[in-house]
Amino acid sequence: MITFDRDVFDGFIFDCDGTLADSMPLHYQAWSETLALKLGRPSDFTESIFYHCGGMPPRQIVARLNHDYGYGLPVDETAHEKELRFLQLIPGVGPVPEVVEVLKQLGLQAKVAVASGGQTSIVRDTLSHIGIKAGPNEIVKFIVGSDQVKHGKPAPDLFLRTAELLGVKPERCLVFEDAEPGFLAAKAASMAWIDVRPFRANMAAAGRY
C-alpha cells in the first residue's frame, strides 16, 4: 500500500505510463515494430534499455538511438509512426490499480495533475481508456505532455509547468513515478517523489531494474 503524509503537500503529480496506466509493455511493442519496419531488421533497442528511458519523449528516444547505434532515423517521422502504432494498441492497456486507488482517494478538492513524457493527446486517450478524465470538475485537473514544454524528462520543465498550472510551489508537490528519468526530473524540480514500482503487483520483469 502506498502511504504518505498528505498534509505535507499541496499538489500531487502523477506520471501516466507505468504509473497510472499499465501501458509500458505496449509502448515497447510499438517501438519494436516501428523500428524493425524502419530499419528492415530488429533494432538494438532492448526492453531493458526501453525501461531505462521511461518518461523520455519519443523524439528524444529516437535521437538517442541514432546517437548510440548510428541509425540515422528521421526523428519526427519515426516518433510519429511509433505513436500511431501505440494508438492502435491502446485497447490492450489496463490500469495500475495500486496507483489509481491513491489517485481516487485524493478526491475532487485536491490539486492533482498528470505529467507525462508522452504527447498530451495520447496521454489523454490512454487515461480515458482506463476511466480517468481530466478537467476542472475531475480529480485530475490538468494533463501536461512533453509537447507543452521545451525539454522533457529528466529535465524539470514538465513538473515545473505542472506545478505552475496547479498554483502550487514545486517544493510542496509530491510526484508519483516509475522510471529514473522521472525521478531525476522531480529532484531537479525540488519535488519529493514516490517510486511506485515496489507497490505494483503486476509488472513486466524488465521494469524491475
List residues with catalytic annotation.
15
d(CA 24, CA 22): 6
* Cα-Cα-Cα-Cα dihedral sign, residues 165, 5, 171, 181: negative
Burial of 75 (0-12, 13-18, 19+ CB in 10 A): middle
d(CA 99, CA 140): 13
Question: Residue holding cell 491502446?
Answer: 90
Alpha-helical segments (H) within the chain: 24-39, 47-52, 58-69, 75-89, 97-106, 120-129, 157-166, 180-188
How far is the C-alpha of 12 from the C-alpha of 168, rounded, in Å?
A: 9
